[in-house]
Structure 1
């Protein structure tokens, strides 16, 4: 898992400052830092798209991902202030009144008018990627008009849409120069008929897209430049198996280098046969499948076949925004640990810890973060990490990171059930920390103070955990050094809380 670069950390810091309104940009930034800052800004809060208008003269944005934003008509028109090469929209349902479609076809949106008003002349000539994901019906014939004023489009994201009759074939006909096409989670596509027109297509993403019969895949054989194919699934159903169907349809993609068949009922025999039929394949993602431990000579496997593969698989799932797949994979990993942990050396177990830390530190879905941390704490790996590290310098950072992730989740959800779950995990973490102490190893002051302070706070908030909290305090006090005891004796306020807590048990 890559550690953030100084550039990335700086972008995060500036974005946080803009979000908190503690930084005032009074000079223009170049394209690269502008894109990085805006990306982080929108990750912090989807409503930060409003700040684009405030800083339109300072931010030279060329790439905008608005999928998490509920933009209004004013924000759409403000986009024309930027020279864009990549533009992703999110939900457009709320803009139907501002850009109404055909009155005879209720509920449609005039995407042509919206795109014209959101782009300037330079953008229309420069945009190479357009994202129109999320289900919103557009006016009939939009493909022909958009292809005329966005003539250089090379990538379209049309995922999560209900395709009207011939709409898929229209996209293939009017945008023949596409290099990338994403139709993931699309509904009402009976086949890939028309995709043969995309002679230059190199990447096709169609996870959770299934056809009624195998003929739906046949035209894939005509894509002579296709290098990347994602036919992964999104549930545990065994009714559809795209690898089996493509084998039955006799599909051959001579240039294919990357295949993702994760979360599908593919068998080891089917996968090996598919790889044999595609000798150019270099990488196969088979995450959360029956091929979790499969190795194929000459092919890099993204599964659980090795520790390095484990880290790369998790990173791949997260960076492709497949949070549920990442979570299922984490479940598989920890389930596998129940039987294989004794055969793994410390460095291999550390791979898993590093993967978890990567997920928690990056801007990924909060539910995925919390449940990953839950599996980690319940697996016993945290106790193992404490036992081998002897409270190394990164342990305090880990404890505070875990605490902040869980508390932030509880505050955002504001549901009693979730607060209870996070409280249990926090008490478990603190118990593990104090129980890992043994003769010759003392708890660092930073950890000790943090555990004391947060345990008291948690018991006040969750009195049903009073006995557990008292046990944590008693165990910590038991192993305190004289210096720590003398220091603690000066904290009268905290000591008084200890007395109340311990007397109640």
Structure 2
């Protein structure tokens, strides 16, 4: 059993307490750093925005300074929670108009972003805020920038990617935020940078996806004397003159410029040489997806695809500056350019660096299905049998942990489901590889619970073959406490029953193809219903679409598996349910009407008893069938009469038992091993039927071979038979006959 770090356990415990609504009993608030981590984990644990109870606990027990609410809808309760904290970072994405109605929209459907921010932050918080990212729809009421600028006088970073800025909105924005150091106006429909000169403190400018058609459109840019980083990526490459050409034609210099991102532009070698001569502090240019993608130029660093090391460095850069549109694209480029053709002779250190940066990308962009998908495909290439030998223990452990973490968080996403399903399919292929599944570094408990959660989620495939195989492999290495916890997972039980429902509608060929999975499902259901009464209750009441679970199991056993040894497991599951008081009350009538099927199991199964496992099957099958029949015979109807007269039914069962005994008795070791079943039946059964069956079995065996007396005595059967008590004369008569043979 793995031991997690104490800090991880503590944080996860608080997250669980908050999500379960039981963190109200503490009387202190956590530090801002811990609060931010916990909040991030809480909101990533569910698809919807936090409910009222969770918000109440976050409001009262945490001290948040950084909130990223980009991928959950903002509603009234969330706004109230925001106002209870003094923030310096706020990122908001969607408004829940089902909650707000038209409160924040005017007659032209323009968003009143000013009111949104006023209602989300207190006066002191607005004065304190340093970073703001807003993606609330695309069109805002005119004049919003000036008002927001007065509200947030100390703002240093503003990201409004995709928000339409028309007319004088950009100049007004630049005048309203004089302290800005970082501005992202990518894809804002801006056609010139007029007014940008007002941002005298600007150090980072991101203007991706803009159509700056002439040199005059960017003339004001050169008044930003402190600018260190400029991002032109993906700007008007195929629309008129290139952005780089217009930049060069300005004939001016940004003297402090150190980093230039020209990803997807028309930059060429001559432009780089001019930039090197004019921009003395320029050290790095990104030239991915350009004619310089595989080039090197002495004297300056080009981040491109020319070497694996440079690609890794490029991806680290995009992760650091949070450029999520490029991450999945670069991961795909990684895989196609280097990983697909990777051989055992490749640089092992580079392969390890690949793993680290891929895991970093997946960790930082866990909410992006495309990053999850491309990251998994990269790791799938890396973990091929030849490649995985080049990885160290740290990298193998890292990629397994990251796959589980990304898979867990991605289940909360509600968009791009097709891409998510493809990513999950690839990830399970990776887990199913022997070099991963049998790795000594595999965290058994973590992968097992991840598999259980996945099987219980909406992303689980209808035929979860790989997941069931992995689960079975993990369960074999589980300890007792973990096994008990697993048996409480009724959501897993629901998923397993859904799989059996599909089996009930498919052909025999389908059943044979998935026989291994069927066996696993039956074994898991048997274990769950055996040790946990709540799970057994859930099973009794469970309805799988239009059919209840118990009729489903009997139909499968009677029709689909009537010649399969697996049929016995269905009976063992039903026997598990007989200990639940509600079982016979709910299903007694149904089982009574199907009692002929149960009796036939006693009469007809002997034909398979000459096989190597025949004795076990006969013994278990007869025991299970008679246990259920005995329960039925003890069940009163409304008039307090029994459904069956014991003496009449007893005759049929005795004949069936005798038929089994005379058909299959053979003196081999496997048959002797049935002693334990006989012992448990006589000791634990509350009904006459199983006891009579056990006594009949012992009598027939002793009459065939008197040498079994010592084996039975050594197994404790003599003392158990002596303690048999029953009001039925037939049972007591059998007891005396068996004792006579034993003495």
TM-score (norm 1): 0.75
Counterparts of 1:429 and 1:369, CA distance in 2: 15
**Structure 1 residue 465, shift from structure 2 partner:** 13
Equivalent residues in 2 for 1:87-236 (5 A)?
87-92=90-95, 94=97, 97=101, 99-100=103-104, 103=107, 106-187=108-189, 189-233=190-234
Contact 2:175/2:195 (<8 A) preserved: yes
Contact 2:165/2:188 (<8 A) preserved: yes
2:88 counterpart (82, 85, 88) = 85
**Structure 1 residue 448, shift from structure 2 partner:** 11
Q: Relative to structure 1, is the Cα distance of residues 366 and 49 closer, same or farther in structure 2, using a 3 angstrom cutoff?
A: farther
Contact 2:156/2:180 (<8 A) preserved: yes
Q: Deviations over 1:172-215 (max 9, x none)?
A: 1222232221101212x120011111122111111122223332
Contact 1:62/1:82 (<8 A) preserved: yes
Q: 2:468 maps to what in 1?
A: 457
Counterparts of 1:333 and 1:202, CA distance in 2: 30
Q: Secondary structure at the match of 1:47?
A: coil
Q: Deviations over 1:129-181 (max 9, x none)?
A: 23233444333323333333332222222221111321111101222232221
Q: 2:64 maps to what in 1?
A: 61
Q: Relative to structure 1, is the Cα distance of residues 113 and 347 closer, same or farther in structure 2, using a 3 angstrom cutoff?
A: closer
Counterparts of 1:256 and 1:64, CA distance in 2: 31
**Structure 1 residue 54, shift from structure 2 partner:** 3.0
Contact 2:213/2:243 (<8 A) preserved: no
Counterparts of 2:105 and 2:444, CA distance in 1: 63
Q: Relative to structure 1, is the Cα distance of residues 274 and 52 closer, same or farther in structure 2, using a 3 angstrom cutoff?
A: farther
Aligned CA-pair RMSD? 4.5
Q: Relative to structure 1, is the Cα distance of residues 242 and 146 closer, same or farther in structure 2, using a 3 angstrom cutoff?
A: same
**Structure 1 residue 417, shift from structure 2 partner:** 8.9
Counterparts of 1:175 and 1:411, CA distance in 2: 36
Q: Secondary structure at the match of 2:166?
A: coil
Counterparts of 1:65 and 1:417, CA distance in 2: 23
Q: Deviations over 1:270-315 (max 9, x none)?
A: 3343343321123333344433344444544433444443333223
Q: Relative to structure 1, is the Cα distance of residues 44 and 288 closer, same or farther in structure 2, using a 3 angstrom cutoff?
A: farther
Q: 2:262 maps to what in 1?
A: 261
Counterparts of 1:371 and 1:465, CA distance in 2: 34
Q: Relative to structure 1, is the Cα distance of residues 354 and 238 closer, same or farther in structure 2, using a 3 angstrom cutoff?
A: farther
**Structure 1 residue 225, shift from structure 2 partner:** 1.0
Equivalent residues in 2 for 1:422-501 (5 A)?
422-423=424-425, 426-427=428-429, 430=432, 433=435, 455=466, 457=468
Q: Secondary structure at the match of 2:280?
A: coil
Q: Relative to structure 1, is the Cα distance of residues 176 and 465 closer, same or farther in structure 2, using a 3 angstrom cutoff?
A: farther
Counterparts of 1:112 and 1:44, CA distance in 2: 30
**Structure 1 residue 55, shift from structure 2 partner:** 2.4
Q: Deviations over 1:447-469 (max 9, x none)?
A: 99999x97472699799999899
Counterparts of 2:77 and 2:441, CA distance in 1: 53
Q: 2:246 maps to what in 1?
A: 245
Q: 1:76 maps to what in 2?
A: 79
Q: Secondary structure at the match of 1:369?
A: helix
Q: Secondary structure at the match of 2:208?
A: coil
**Structure 1 residue 86, shift from structure 2 partner:** 2.5
Q: Deviations over 1:438-492 (max 9, x none)?
A: xxxx9759699999x974726997999998999xxxxxxxxxxxxxxxxxxxxx9
Q: Relative to structure 1, is the Cα distance of residues 403 and 64 closer, same or farther in structure 2, using a 3 angstrom cutoff?
A: closer
Q: 1:371 maps to what in 2?
A: 374
TM-score (norm 2): 0.53
Equivalent residues in 2 for 1:317-356 (5 A)?
317-337=318-338, 344-356=346-358
Q: Deviations over 1:41-98 (max 9, x none)?
A: 3344461385344321322222222222211134324422222223222124738745
Q: Relative to structure 1, is the Cα distance of residues 22 and 56 closer, same or farther in structure 2, using a 3 angstrom cutoff?
A: closer
Counterparts of 1:36 and 1:409, CA distance in 2: 18
Q: Secondary structure at the match of 1:156?
A: strand
Q: Secondary structure at the match of 1:259?
A: strand
Q: Secondary structure at the match of 2:256?
A: coil
Q: 1:309 maps to what in 2?
A: 310
Contact 2:231/2:260 (<8 A) preserved: yes
Q: Secondary structure at the match of 2:68?
A: strand
List runs of 5+ in structure 2 lacking aligned partners: 449-463, 471-495, 503-508, 517-564, 570-743
Q: Secondary structure at the match of 1:90?
A: strand
Q: Relative to structure 1, is the Cα distance of residues 128 and 27 closer, same or farther in structure 2, using a 3 angstrom cutoff?
A: same
Q: Relative to structure 1, is the Cα distance of residues 243 and 422 closer, same or farther in structure 2, using a 3 angstrom cutoff?
A: same
Q: 1:500 maps to what in 2?
A: none
Counterparts of 2:348 and 2:298, CA distance in 1: 27
Q: Which has the larger radius of gyration?
A: 2
